A and B are shown apart, each in its own frame.
Chain A
Amino acid sequence: MYTQEMLDSVKKVEATRKERLGMEPRRMTAEEKETLLNRYHPDYRQENFSVLKIGPNKGDKVPDELAVLLQANSRVKDLDIDLTKIDYDTDVLIIGGGGAGASAAIEADEAGAKVMMVTKLRIGDANTMMAEGGIQAADKENDSPAIHYLDALGGGHYANDPKLLHKLVTEGPSAVKWLNDLGVMFDKAADGTMITTHGGGTSRKRMHAAKDYSGAEIMRVLRDEVINRGIPVVDFTSAVELILDEEGRAAGAVLMNMETGEYLVARAKTVIIATGGAGRLHYQGFPTSNHYGATADGLILGYRVGAELVYADTIQYHPTGVAFPEQIFGALVTEKVRSLGAMLVNADGEAFMHPLETRDVCAASIIRECKDRKKGVSTVEGSGVWLDTPMIDMIHGEGTIENRLPGMFRMYEKYDIDMRKIPILVYPTLHYQNGGLKINQEGLTDVENLYAAGEVVGGIHGRNRLMGNSLLDIIVFGRNAGKNAAKKSKTIKPGKLTLSHVEKFAKEMEDAGIKTDCVSPKLLPKYTHRKDE
């Protein structure tokens, strides 16, 4: 499978492996990291960002592709939607079918509210399903929520919202317990001790995992629980516009059947946006590790009704996306591979950095190695560096890769690459939206009765998220939003429904001189290849 150039380079990697096994590469100083990020991290490439002309974040910069969608036409702009004809009537409407949405649904149901989930694909078609590495929680003797707090804060460049971060770390252990009690199979030792590892930027081993199917295991259990509870899940149906009441409070959404194109009206007392991330917008032309529906829909829905965004200019590029083979280009190679000891090695066989720096530092360092130092290995799509996977079984014993990284092993095996014996090629891939809708501790956005949870939210992780804090975040803040939205719904009397904000937004666009044919939310990426396009 590998080219001759790759195989020649593999020999150099093998030649240095024995020596590298006994050493730990030096960690960078704070100054070195800052210089590196400034020069090589995609977030710092100003030419790929636009300043917003309208809306709550007017004057702020966001990635070009997001700016276009945030300042685009509503899908219902010229449609005559009859808001008196209610197709679905519920207390809590949850938009999104991933881990945050499912957690919210379970808790809202538990609190006695009438709940409904709507998702444009199937429940579980979400980034949660693909989170391989694990979930952080400070539950070991040598650890504490305070140490977890400091790790996440430093990793996030001290920009994390302190109150949200406090909530994340203090509710971490109870989130893991909640999942365990639902039947999630965490990796445990015979005496019940959770098997935990490091992630990039952690100072304690607090990464809990379910092999390398951590997110999938969590998602399939949550999905099963949602179904067991009889919570209605309207699938293949997207929310295309929020509906407000005459007081400007969130009161439902216009839905669209993805298969028939039919529009439907859902009325709700409270609404939770849990639509996830934006990888499928392919910022700066990067490939992505995200699922098919990650198109920033929730940011668009929220922004149009006046919800503010925070850190929408910070994106996480996962350092280790697949660089080769091209068929799975951009797919995720879990950080757990590095947690288990695999080093990042350049074309000459040199370990050019500590493999467990934070993700932004790691990604920038790989980009430097390939673009500037020219020590990458050429691939069809560009270049990549080696992730020296054979080290794992050498450190932890034979069978470790098959046992603890079965998903990765299978993915490469399909292309005749045996990662136990030969290293794999990686390059950064667009992975996570650090920023998003601003919320308070209750999970409430700037708009009354409009909650948000999961990757669509910004602020918890500052300007860079640590591995394992996202699975944690969707559970902690998903549950939180579900509980609070349910409680609030009991105090709400439905008012008159309106879409007047759509006209208002169109007027703002006109006044700002924005003329575009683009409609948003985007819903799905377009990868078709036809002669007539």
Chain B
Amino acid sequence: MEEFVNIFLMGKKYTVPSNLTIMGAMEYAGYQLVRGCGCRSGFCGACAIIYRIKGERDLKVCLACQTQVENNMYIATLPFFPLIKEIYDINEIRPTEQIMMQLYPEIYSCIGCNACTKSCTQGLNVMQYIAYAQRGEYEKCAEESFDCVMCGVCSSRCPAGISHPQVALLARRLTGKYLAPKSEHLEDRVREIENGDFEELLEGLMQKPIEELKELYNNRDIEE
């Protein structure tokens, strides 16, 4: 037998099957979603939710597509949050300590309240990665923030007005481009291809009849 729970979407009560996600429950209630719905798999950050269970003091956060409804859930959606996104040329900037100071100086106003970490829908240690960014430790910031889906809930809770996801994104791009070790085999292969080194092989393959290609494919050796 199907069980039902009461939920409150933006304060309005709906009775929905208890096995649904919050997103599924909104649709069950009749919402045709346009905002607040993206990948439906927990990767895009479109469906951030802030909720409170009636009678409890804690404010909780989650992604609507990844979380099952509970009875007496008071649900507010956060389909958009005005993050600060500074413009920069990735080829011009460098992974110096000053670059954060120039682009996102508000990170130095962090008061250490940890509201960001408590509100992360991905369970990341947000305050820690901001601390790394303050110190110019971009690789650590990148690693700590890697699973960020940029939903913006952390920033909505921040008394210092920090746009944590954008700070983290900058740190990751600096890491990927400048700090991570160079892949020489990749650069070599790009040069070889530009040099036309594989053209003869490829042209040869392209001209072979299908039967011969099948033979080659079915008997190719596969790396262990």
Binding site for B on A (CB under 8 A): 29-30, 121-122, 124-125, 129-130, 132, 137-142, 144-147, 149-151, 153-154, 158, 162-163, 166, 169-171, 173-174, 176-177, 180-186, 188-194, 198, 203-205, 211, 213, 215-217, 220-221, 224-225, 227-228, 230, 236, 258-259, 289, 291-292, 326-328, 331-332, 406-407, 410-411, 414-415, 524, 526-530
Contact = CB atoms under 8 A, between A and B. Distances in A.
Contacts of A189: 181
Nearest to A121: B38
B182 A129 contact: no
A326 B223 contact: no
B43 A213 contact: yes
Contacts of A203: 220-223
A29 B217 CA distance: 11
A180 B177 contact: yes
A326 to B, nearest CB: 6
B181 A190 contact: yes
B42 A410 contact: yes
A173 B66 contact: no
Given A188-B180, A203-B220, A407-B43, A228 B88 contact: yes
Contact of B201 (A130, A144, A181): A144
B99 interface: no
Interface string B31-43: 1111101111111
A201 to B, nearest CB: 10
A153 B217 contact: yes
Contact of A188 (B38, B181, B201, B218): B181
B183 A193 contact: yes
A154 B39 contact: no
23 contacts: A121-B46, A130-B39, A130-B41, A130-B44, A142-B223, A173-B189, A186-B180, A186-B183, A194-B183, A194-B186, A203-B220, A203-B223, A211-B147, A213-B43, A221-B169, A221-B176, A227-B87, A258-B34, A291-B38, A327-B21, A327-B66, A414-B67, A529-B29
A137 B174 CA distance: 23
Interface stretch (B52-60, B107-115, B156-164, B202-210): B202-210
Interface in B159-173: 169, 172-173
B3 interface: no
Contact of B147 (A258, A328, A407, A414): A407
Contacts of B189: 138-139, 173
B12 interface: no
Given A129-B38, A170-B198, A227-B85, A198 B193 contact: no
Given A193-B185, A326-B19, A170 B41 contact: no
Contacts of A121: 34, 37-38, 46
Given A29-B218, A332-B41, A411-B42, 10 more contacts: A121-B34, A138-B189, A173-B186, A203-B223, A221-B176, A227-B87, A328-B66, A331-B40, A331-B41, A528-B32
With most chain B CB atoms within 10 A of its CB, the pick from A129, A205, A327 is: A327
Nearest to A120: B34
A132 B149 CA distance: 13
B153 to A, nearest CB: 16
With most chain A CB atoms within 10 A of its CB, the pick from B21, B24, B29, B39 is: B39
A299 to B, nearest CB: 21
A292 B20 contact: no
B31 to A, nearest CB: 7
